[in-house]
Structure 1
Amino acid sequence: MAFLFDANTQRYIPLAPHHTVGRLASIVDTHLDRPYISKLHMTIEWRDEHWHVKNLGLNGTYVNGDFLAQGVSRPLVLGDDITLAEPNDPAFKVLDLSPPADMLWPLNDSQVPQPVVLARYHLLPEEENPELTLFLQDQQWYLEPVTGHEEPVTRLLNADDAVTFDNQQWRLIRAQVYGPTEARMQSIDKISQFEFVFDLSLDEESTQLYLQRDQQKFDLGERSHHYLLFLLARHRLEDIARGLACNSQGWVYAEQLALELGVDNTHMNIYIYRARKQLSDILPHAQVQNSLLERRGGKLRIGCDRFKVYKGGEIIEQSPKASSIVQPELSV
């Protein structure tokens, strides 16, 4: 996201898609308490794939010393200096012109900010050693701690809410507008419509995972968290074989699953978050958070009932709903 440097306050200012500057604090994004500044003096807005500055003030706006009369706008370029009403006032320096995006803004004014531009699913501060998971669902951002709890507490994040990780505070900036069309698009892919194909080595030390639906096929590679998904699939396959109803299939206590994996609950939760992130990246229009893995009463299960399991290249089990297609290019 674009931002300015305010030479007067020595602060960095992230730009909203329609950013207003002026003297009336109740209606502007950036407040300037100076008598010669108009109540609504200037806007900076994103349109036609560019940022534009527009003067609304009676006393004008200057860009690199060039005067903009009331109602006049011009595109911005990196390095522009913007002053309002008085050309000798401290300037706003244009330091970044990235398109609008939801992001985490660092609350540290002592250095040039390095904001975290948000996709749909994040492990923070990094995937290998996460403290938090941040995800978008139904046009809202949610936060979960990576802890040893059976069911981590999910927190709704609103614009300007603070987030702390890696010993630093950040602020959620909402810039992206999600319309009804995009909201519908995000719900098209359903995890339950895909078939999970697991290919295990003979010693079960490595697990390859494929997803397929009709003519679609995704190779998710070999990951440690795929074995967690396989164990949950195995529990569901066992319950299917026992004839349990769909809503009773595959539930296993978190402690038992961690024991089967040979890890503690915190490490198991990291596997869960990594699995969700990988599928969110591959299926950008799927609601992965609550559909890949379901939770209730200290138990969890995989949210799908279509599986094939290969070991050493030979199929060893599959669910009744699995397709009849034999997987090519599996390990031997």
Structure 2
Amino acid sequence: MGLLVNSKTKQRIYLKSIHSMGRDAESCDTALYCPLCSRLQCVIRYQNSAWYLYDESRNGTYLNGAKLSSGGIRLKEGDNISFPGDQDNNWTLEDISSPSSVLLFNGGEQYIELEKCNALPNERHPELLITKEEDSLHWFIEQGELVKPLRGGDRLYLSGQPWVFYPNDMVLETQAYQIQDSKDELHLFFGVSLNEENVQLVTSCRKIEKDMGYKVHHQLLVILARRLISDVNSGFPLRDSGWIATDLLLRELRIEAAYLNILIYRSRTAFERAGIKHPPIDRRQGELRLRPCRVSIQKGEELVEHSPDIDGVVASPMCSGFV
């Protein structure tokens, strides 16, 4: 991600996709304390897969010692940005990669670059999960049974150490959404062994079918799928269907809350690796569900199906079954 380093103080600045610098500390992302600088001195913007510098000042901004003319200029790694009356105190662009969201420690001496789904400090021993909703760009933190929104500047703790969340989502000027037809709907097919110890998952989305194999975290998904089918069969509206208390899940799976977070993380990342943009796992305070989608569960010769565009549950025998 874009990184500026101050030549004197060695301060590190992780650039937002639109990053302002100036004397107005209340409105600018980076405050400048040079008396000849303007309230808004310059803007660094990420566009067309590159960083550009725009001068917005009265006295000028300097790039590699030369005063900028009007308009934006494309930056390259190693460029130096300085300001009138204080040209010895400049900033060097040390990283020109695209913006990303991070957790910062000790003012930026260390950082963790965030993906859509994160188990921290690691997958084997997650203290918390941090996830992002693709459509809304909202971030959430999940710790134990606590689920809450995560906003810029929020402080959180990993192994007792404070980290600060620094969102840096790219905001597109226009977004077009196309309504998917029924052929693009997500279909989850579960094959459950007679002793319930092995669960296979096969996904189908946009005519692409993928065998997700037999995984421990599929046992969590099939429990959620059964609750979804049961609620719909009982007449619940789809928006209220499928929710199950996490303490009930913990008892049914006979696991601790920390291991439940591992299962959730592995399920979400498996869906993403399968090319499913929106992993169908919803979570709110104390509850979890499989987001309504087409579901089939086969155990032996019994097949139970649910589709969100029908009002009931259909059960039919199959010629072959899972054992």
The CA distance in 2 between the partners of 1:110 and 1:158, in whole Å, is: 17
**In the alignment, is residue 28 of structure 1 matched against residue 18 of structure 2?**
no
The CA distance in 1 between the partners of 2:102 and 2:162, in whole Å, is: 11
Describe the shift of the 1:85–1:195 C-alpha distance in structure 2 as closer, same or farther (beyond 3 A).
Answer: same
The CA distance in 1 between the partners of 2:319 and 2:53, in whole Å, is: 56
**In the alignment, is residue 135 of structure 1 matched against residue 137 of structure 2?**
no
1:245 corresponds in structure 2 to: 235
**In the alignment, is residue 308 of structure 1 matched against residue 306 of structure 2?**
no
Specify which of 142, 153, 157 is matched with residue 160 of structure 1: 153
Cα deviation for residue 134 of structure 1 reads 2.0
The CA distance in 1 between the partners of 2:52 and 2:289, in whole Å, is: 50
Specify which of 169, 176, 199 is matched with residue 170 of structure 2: 176
| CA displacement 1:165-184 (0-9 Å, x = unmatched) | 243412222342156636x4
Describe the shift of the 1:54–1:244 C-alpha distance in structure 2 as closer, same or farther (beyond 3 A).
Answer: closer
1:106 corresponds in structure 2 to: 104
| CA displacement 1:116-143 (0-9 Å, x = unmatched) | 1332x32223233222222223332222
Amino acid at match of 2:50: H
Contact 2:185 2:293 (C-alpha < 8 Å) held by counterparts? no
Secondary structure of the residue aligned to 1:209 is: strand
1:222 corresponds in structure 2 to: 214
Describe the shift of the 1:173–1:259 C-alpha distance in structure 2 as closer, same or farther (beyond 3 A).
Answer: closer
Higher strand share: 2
The CA distance in 1 between the partners of 2:46 and 2:218, in whole Å, is: 42
When normalised by structure 2's length, the TM-score is: 0.76
2:94 corresponds in structure 1 to: 95
Cα deviation for residue 14 of structure 1 reads 1.4
**In the alignment, is residue 317 of structure 1 matched against residue 309 of structure 2?**
no
The CA distance in 1 between the partners of 2:185 and 2:255, in whole Å, is: 30
When normalised by structure 1's length, the TM-score is: 0.74
Cα deviation for residue 4 of structure 1 reads 0.3
Describe the shift of the 1:200–1:28 C-alpha distance in structure 2 as closer, same or farther (beyond 3 A).
Answer: same
**In the alignment, is residue 117 of structure 1 matched against residue 126 of structure 2?**
no
Contact 1:63 1:83 (C-alpha < 8 Å) held by counterparts? yes
Greater Cα offset, 33-42 or 251-260: 251-260
Contact 1:162 1:172 (C-alpha < 8 Å) held by counterparts? no
Describe the shift of the 1:50–1:110 C-alpha distance in structure 2 as closer, same or farther (beyond 3 A).
Answer: closer
2:191 corresponds in structure 1 to: 199
**In the alignment, is residue 13 of structure 1 matched against residue 1 of structure 2?**
no
Contact 2:281 2:290 (C-alpha < 8 Å) held by counterparts? no
Cα deviation for residue 224 of structure 1 reads 1.0
Question: Any unmatched runs of 5+ in structure 1?
Answer: none
Describe the shift of the 1:57–1:323 C-alpha distance in structure 2 as closer, same or farther (beyond 3 A).
Answer: farther
| CA displacement 1:139-173 (0-9 Å, x = unmatched) | 3222221x2xxxx3322222222233243412222
Secondary structure of the residue aligned to 1:160 is: coil
2:38 corresponds in structure 1 to: 38
Count of residues in correspondence between the two structures: 310
Identity within the alignment, %: 26
Describe the shift of the 1:94–1:323 C-alpha distance in structure 2 as closer, same or farther (beyond 3 A).
Answer: farther
**In the alignment, is residue 231 of structure 1 matched against residue 223 of structure 2?**
yes
Describe the shift of the 1:46–1:124 C-alpha distance in structure 2 as closer, same or farther (beyond 3 A).
Answer: same
Amino acid at match of 1:157: L
